[in-house]
């Protein structure tokens, strides 16, 4: 179930990024009168493509492969994708203008400050402002025309739950805490012996009844030490095999002997167990409805944008 929600959320984010486009300011286009496309008579210029390539695309290419040029075939494909996105952006901005949808200036200011705090000054401030405003206009348009009209009923959620039962199976899990004394892969025998002596001393304290969580805070060298060694619930396959085998063999409240893994020496205490189960519908319902709404939003936005493009007069120059 969680994987399904992540997939739909990611799809929505990616599609929204495509829809937002780059909202290029008018004066960028005015620098070059070579027209590469028109949308309902509004022109898109080669300078807009060049700006996107130089400002957004090439820095990413250089970051991944310094001193390497983008192959010509790839460059042409990227430029075609940019043209397609700019066409979509023009269609959406024109629709927003028709409906009188604008960006809230206070929100633009707030977003400007947040971006300026994180980025360099590669983009002039007035240009950045128009980029942000166009993005917000498109977001407001999509919200008003599509998202605000979408809901998922309990019946739709129940139908999905009934048709995809395997997505709601939750495997056996244990909740465990541990104390780790690290042993480096290249540790000398003396270092291994020292670590073993230390873990044995801690084990003796635990077996004598000292509080396991406090011992973990004092002695554990793992990242969970500050939380008393608590690892939360985990299913099989989440931990290295020797650790997992012991953890799933213990009863609640039972403390293990010393366990050796690639990380070092552990003492494990199981604090709770949860048997394999099917998540009840009422428990899954709200998260399921959120996931289905994200999926429906993705589908409906895509369909709506495609319809707007079909209604527009679009010409792309060869």
For the chain, helix, strand, coil in percent to 5 are 60, 15, 25
Distance CA 263, CA 266 (A): 9
**At a CB cut-off of 8 Å and minimum separation 6, what does 92 contact?**
19, 21, 138, 141, 142, 305, 308
What's the pLDDT at 301? Answer: 96
What's the pLDDT at 4? Answer: 38
Q: How confident is the model at residue 51 (pLDDT cuts 50, 70, 90)?
A: confident
| 221, 265 Cβ separation under 8 angstroms | no
Q: Residue 292 pLDDT > 70, yes or no?
A: yes
What's the pLDDT at 30? Answer: 52
What's the pLDDT at 123? Answer: 74
Q: Residue 22 pLDDT > 70, yes or no?
A: no
Q: Residue 23 pLDDT > 60, yes or no?
A: no
Distance CA 228, CA 93 (A): 54
95-125: per-residue pLDDT in tens?
Answer: 999 999 999 999 999 998 888 777 655 677 8
Burial 159-188 (b: 16+ CB within 10 A, else e): ebbeeeeebbebeebbbbbbbbbebeeeee
243-264: per-residue pLDDT in tens?
Answer: 999 999 999 999 999 999 999 9
- Pairwise pLDDT comparison (17 vs 68), residue with the higher score: 68
72-76, 170-174, 223-227, range with the lowest pLDDT: 72-76
Please give the average per-residue pLDDT across 263-272, as a whole number.
98
Distance CA 218, CA 240 (A): 24
For the chain, what is the total number of helices (H) and then of strands (E)?
12, 9
Residue ranges covered by each domain of the chain: 2-152+283-316, 173-272
What's the pLDDT at 215? Answer: 98
| 29, 45 Cβ separation under 8 angstroms | yes
Please give the average per-residue pLDDT across 33-59, as a whole number.
90
What's the pLDDT at 94? Answer: 97
| 53, 61 Cβ separation under 8 angstroms | no
122-136, 150-164, 232-246, 301-315, range with the lowest pLDDT: 122-136
50-54, 62-66, 129-133, 223-227, range with the lowest pLDDT: 62-66
Whether 2-152+283-316 and 173-272 share one fold: the answer is: no
What's the pLDDT at 185? Answer: 93
The half-sphere exposure of 125 on its side-chain side, counting CA atoms within 13 A, is 6
Please give the average per-residue pLDDT across 71-77, as a whole number.
89
What's the pLDDT at 148? Answer: 95
What's the pLDDT at 197? Answer: 98
Distance CA 151, CA 148 (A): 8
- Pairwise pLDDT comparison (207 vs 113), residue with the higher score: 207
Percentage with pLDDT > 90 across the chain? 73
Classified by CATH at the fold level, domain 2-152+283-316 comes out as Triger factor/SurA peptide-binding fold (1.10.4030)
Distance CA 160, CA 138 (A): 31
| 266, 175 Cβ separation under 8 angstroms | no
Percentage with pLDDT > 70 across the chain? 89
Handedness of CA 279, 282, 286, 290 (dihedral sign): positive
Q: Average pLDDT of the chain?
A: 88
78-90: per-residue pLDDT in tens?
Answer: 999 999 999 999 9
Greatest alpha-carbon span in the chain: 83
Any bridge partners for residue 180, and if so which?
266
Three-state secondary structure call for residue 300: helix
What's the pLDDT at 17? Answer: 41
Q: Residue 5 pLDDT > 50, yes or no?
A: no
| 304, 32 Cβ separation under 8 angstroms | no
Classified by CATH at the fold level, domain 173-272 comes out as Chitinase A; domain 3 (3.10.50)
């Amino acid at each position: 179930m969680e994987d399904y929600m992540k997939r739909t959320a990611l799809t929505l984010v990616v599609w929204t990024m495509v829809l937002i486009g780059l909202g290029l300011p008018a004066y960028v286009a005015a620098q070059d009168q070579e027209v590469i496309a028109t949308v309902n008579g509004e022109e898109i210029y080669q300078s807009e493509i060049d700006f996107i390539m130089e400002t957004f695309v090439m820095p990413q290419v250089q970051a991944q492969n310094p001193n390497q040029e983008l192959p010509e075939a790839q460059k042409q494909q990227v430029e075609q994708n940019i043209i397609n996105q700019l066409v979509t952006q023009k269609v959406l901005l024109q629709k927003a203008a028709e409906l009188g949808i604008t960006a809230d200036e206070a929100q633009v200011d707030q977003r400007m400050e947040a971006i300026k705090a994180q980025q360099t000054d590669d983009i002039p401030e007035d240009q950045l402002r128009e980029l942000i405003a166009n993005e917000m206009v498109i977001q407001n348009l999509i919200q008003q025309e599509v998202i605000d009209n979408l809901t998922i009923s309990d019946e739709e959620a129940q139908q999905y739950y009934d048709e995809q039962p395997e997505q709601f199976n939750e495997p056996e899990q244990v909740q465990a805490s541990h104390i780790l004394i690290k042993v480096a892969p290249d540790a000398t025998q003396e270092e291994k012996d020292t670590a073993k002596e230390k873990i044995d001393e801690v084990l003796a304290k635990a077996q004598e009844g000292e509080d396991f969580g406090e011992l973990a805070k004092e002695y554990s060298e793992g990242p969970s030490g500050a939380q008393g060694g608590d690892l939360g619930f985990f299913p099989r396959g989440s931990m290295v095999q020797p650790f997992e085998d012991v953890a799933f063999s213990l009863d609640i409240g039972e403390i293990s002997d010393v366990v050796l893994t690639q990380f070092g020496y552990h003492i494990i205490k199981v604090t709770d167990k949860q048997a394999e189960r099917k998540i009840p519908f009422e428990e899954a319902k709200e998260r399921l409805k959120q996931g289905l709404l994200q999926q429906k939003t993705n589908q409906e936005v895509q369909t709506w944008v495609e319809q707007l493009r079909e209604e527009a007069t679009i010409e792309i120059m060869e």
